[in-house]
Amino acid sequence: MKNANRASDHGSHSSFEDDAPYALCGRPQPSTLNPQRLAGFSLLEVMIAMAVFFIVVFAVLGMVVQSLGAARALQRQHADCGMVASMLSLSNTLEEGFDSGDFEGLVPDYRWERSISEVGSNGFFQVDIAVFQKNTRGKEVSENMSVLMYKPGGKKKK
């Protein structure tokens, strides 16, 4: 009987040693020990993940291409009559007459012409401005504008 008690004591003692690592969280259930479940992702799961990844990548690339095109369009300089009028308004005097020129390399393929005439007394002038651009066919396209300016120190043409 003593041997039987020892075996039962030893058996219960052995069971306690086997449960020692799981004392706080309990023994794992057989369903979590399934070797197929721990093997990895299936081929279908990997293919779906790759498809989603490439859809996102191509969407981002499309937005980058679109924003680069918009930035390129913003870099193209276009001349207009307002640029010539602003250059003229910075001067202190106006003289009647005709003048022409280009935009000094700022905007290629553009040139301007302006005609200044006094329309009233005491320095009231009319400025007619035309800006010309050569298009791809070699023809010139123009934009015209008239501005009234008051410069008391303006000079009349003699």
Q: Which two tokens stand for residue 16?
A: 């306690």
pLDDT digits (tens, 9 = 90+) for 14-73: 555 666 666 677 666 656 555 555 568 899 999 999 999 999 999 999 999 999 988 887
126-149 residue pLDDT tens: 999 999 888 777 788 888 999 888
| Domains of the chain by start residue, with CATH | 2-73 (no CATH), 81-150 (2.20.25)
Q: What is the pTM of this model?
A: 0.50
Angstrom distance (rounded) from CA 89 to CA 83: 10
In the structure encoding, which two tokens stand for residue 47, read together?
A: 């293919």
